[in-house]
Copies of this chain bind each other. A is one copy, B any other.
Amino acid sequence: MTVDTKPGPRRRDAPATEMPDKEGIVGYKLRRAQLVVFHDFLQTFARMKIRPAEFSVLSMIARTPGLKQTEIAEALGIKRANFVALMDGLEARGLADRRKGGADRRSHALHLTPEGERFVRKMVAVWHEHEDRMVDRLGGPQERDRLIELLDRLLAGQEAAKED
């Protein structure tokens, strides 16, 4: 266990200096940074009317067509009950569809429509603007990779914590 206390004398009645400063707190900084990045994402995609969750769903369908709802929802950390309205929206816009006819007649295979394919190509081009801007802020692809690696350690810790 890491106890990150600084050496040296410490007075008894100085609670103010013992208080955690938000600027050094992992969760706080993580939240603020995530909000900033999502805000940039939302601004970038305001015209295309795409939200982060919709973006990740369309990307995943494009990468791996034919997956069923539960598979995509679980991979993205979306509850399957909440996935329904999201997918309804994409279907209503003619970007993706649910196809029945597989071996398991309970499930739907998710695919992009031809219009969805075109939309996703534009979406990815626009996304590069956003992502390049974030990578630039970080200091380049190498710094981006360092960040991703550190974030993966937090995520891996969660995996380990679940096994009990």
- Copy count, this protein chain: 2
Roughly how many angstroms separate A52 CA and B133 CA in the complex, as a whole number?
29
By a CB distance below 8 angstroms, the chain B residues around A38 are 27, 31
- The yes or no answer to A80 lying at the interface (CB within 8 A) is no
Q: Size of chain A's interface in residues, with CB distance under 8 A? A: 71
Q: Is A48 close to B, CB under 8 A?
A: no
Residues of B near A86 (CB, < 8 A) are: none
Complexed CA–CA distance, A137 and B156 (Å): 8
Contacts of A136 in B (CB 8 A): 1-2, 157
Q: Which residue from B25, B28, B121, B153 sits with its C-beta under 8 Å from A138?
A: B153
Residues of B near A19 (CB, < 8 A) are: 59, 62-63, 120, 124
Q: Does A100 lie at the interface of the complex (its beta carbon under 8 Å from any beta carbon of B)?
A: no
A152 touches B28 (CB 8 A): no
